[in-house]
Structure 1
């Protein structure tokens, strides 16, 4: 993979005969590698017509993000195929079901590793998986998936020490340290998934399971469903069962519970360790990009079915 990420205010994307495609920021130069597939520009800046032509010639996608929104300059846009798949109810339901089933299997796998196989919540998830196979609408899949998630977190209460106050998964805002940690790492995961999707030319706003909504990265939310257990939960759960997360890692207020700088630093370290975990198929972060490539191939019609990421013993 070759991805250039550049951030700056007042940057200029240019093409010079002797130096090629480059970005100038505050008097410095940053060359975009000749083997780059995608270059991300974040901030406020200028793109010259010649630089755009050269990027198209080299088949380099340029993703531009600013406070005004995001635009993708792509010589071979997938968005037409992506919208077509989204508007095809049969295809949309098929990929949404595959994602929700994989996410449910990953939850069962984690519960099994934690010695919770056979508990009430585990058995309920197994029954809900039968309903996933029968559901004929995306809304129905989302409703069942919500029930699966609820049962999963209820099962985790059995092993999370009571002093952390984890009685249920809470969001917007999180009301306990466990939920705060999960929410924080989920956001990190969404960012990586969105970048992987853009790398392969997919528009992260057009989701299949999660309904498109403005600038929300709905497709990144879809992809993240496959990786929450091996990347987020696998970092968070041991940190609390070992009681290594302390009160001073969090900020408590009437608006909720949030990780402070010390807490974020600790969680990010655990998260990066999971990202760099090597399996026979490569690092877990590379698996995210692999799944994004499979999704792009499915959108293009090069794959009949999308095969989601499912946890195995080696992950």
Structure 2
């Protein structure tokens, strides 16, 4: 998986000389440090302080997830790019330019959802036209007229709800969603969305760590004491592309099936270990897939596009250059 390692089963993660060692059922699996930037612990994993010091010196982030596939937290190595001067400017941007940045983020979500829906419209799913028309005729106008964060969030909320309402046209019946339920997810499609969003959120945390941006100062989402809220902001434009396109591909090609890849209990539904591995493989493949960038005129991966969005935000904060998150149609 390149620079990302996923641990999906219980075991112990330790330092072994200058490598990482995952011990499971009496067997050792070695993880080379030089090719690792982040580790996802998706099951119960034992660690010690000796390991944490080693991870910190090698600037490796580790994301931990709970039983319900929810994000628990991140071991975040000591910041190596922090700049007090830039932090002051980022806080100033929050105070003076928050609405501009928040609107740009929501606009990009709308553009990318439009492209995803239009793909299905072209492939004879004519029922999605109502939402496509709403985005063209009302969404942008509603967003333009929003002059408070709460109003922008309302516009965003309606956009997602209309998007979800089209799933019944794009997915088989056993994956249809009545409503979005997050903690814990209550059916297979909610389980896939929650898992995918969590993977993307953690991926964005790692990306931001390698820039001057401060994770705590966000613009669309309120800065939170419990989460790295800027990662929520940066990841939004990529959800339709990286999370939902992955879900639609896996489900419609029957690579993920309700009767094979989920554990269902009375009040919740989760991907089983095999299902998680299938999703992770598809998610990483999509992240690493490349496209011709509209401005750079060279091929870049979607993982690189996330980092480029961070740089766009930095440029806006420092130089007041328009902040336009990733646009699937324009490939910029």
User: What is the TM-score with the length of structure 2 in the denominator?
Assistant: 0.73
Identify the match of residue 104 of structure 1 among 107, 110, 119.
110
Match of 2:206 in 1: 195
SS at match of 1:175: coil
Q: Secondary structure at the match of 2:319?
A: coil
**Counterparts of 2:162 and 2:4 in 1: how far apart (Å)?**
41
Does structure 1 residue 85 correspond to structure 2 residue 103? no
Q: Secondary structure at the match of 1:72?
A: coil
In structure 2, stretches of 5+ residues that fail to align are: 6-11, 21-31, 40-46, 65-72, 294-299
Name the CA shift for 1:232/1:44 in 2 (closer, same or farther; >3 Å): same
The CA distance in 2 between the partners of 1:65 and 1:236, in whole Å, is 22
Alignment of 1:51-130 (within 5 A): 70=76, 72-74=79-81, 76-77=83-84, 78-88=86-96, 91-115=97-121, 116=125, 119-126=129-136, 127-130=138-141
When the two chains are superposed, the root-mean-square deviation of aligned CA atoms in Å is: 3.6
Whether contact under 8 Å (1:197, 1:289) holds in the other structure is yes
**1:215 offset after TM fit, Å?**
3.2
| 1:214 to 2:225 alignment | yes
1:275 aligned partner: 287
Q: Is residue 244 of structure 2 the alignment partner of residue 233 of structure 1?
A: yes
Would the alpha carbon gap of residues 234 and 182 (structure 1) be closer, same or farther in structure 2, given more than 3 Å must change?
Answer: same
Structure index of larger Rg: 1
Go from structure 1 to structure 2 and tell me whether the alpha carbon gap of 1:219 and 1:43 turns closer, same or farther (over 3 Å shift). farther
C-alpha distance in 2, partners of 1:130/1:199? 36
Counterpart-to-counterpart distance in 2, 1:137 and 1:105: 21
Post-superposition Cα deviations, 1:199-224, rounded to whole Å, max 9, x if no partner, equal 11212222100111113121111111
Question: Is residue 312 from structure 1 mapped to residue 329 from structure 2 by the alignment?
Answer: yes
Secondary structure of the structure 2 residue equivalent to 1:312: coil
Matched residue SS, 1:158: helix
Aligned to 1:28: 18
Unpaired runs of 5+ in structure 1? Answer: 12-24, 34-38
Counterpart CA distance in 2 for 1:87 and 1:314 is 30
| Secondary structure of 1:279 counterpart | strand
- SS of residue in 1 equivalent to 2:269: strand
2:275 is the alignment partner of 1:285 = no
- Runs of 4+ displaced beyond 4 Å: 29-33, 39-43, 60-71
Residues 242-261 of structure 1: pairs in structure 2 closer than 5 A: 242-246=253-257, 247-261=259-273
State the shift of 1:134 in Å. 1.2
- The alignment of Structure 1 onto Structure 2 pairs a total of residues equal to 283
Task: Determine the C-alpha separation between the residues in 1 that align with 2:174 and 2:209.
Answer: 41
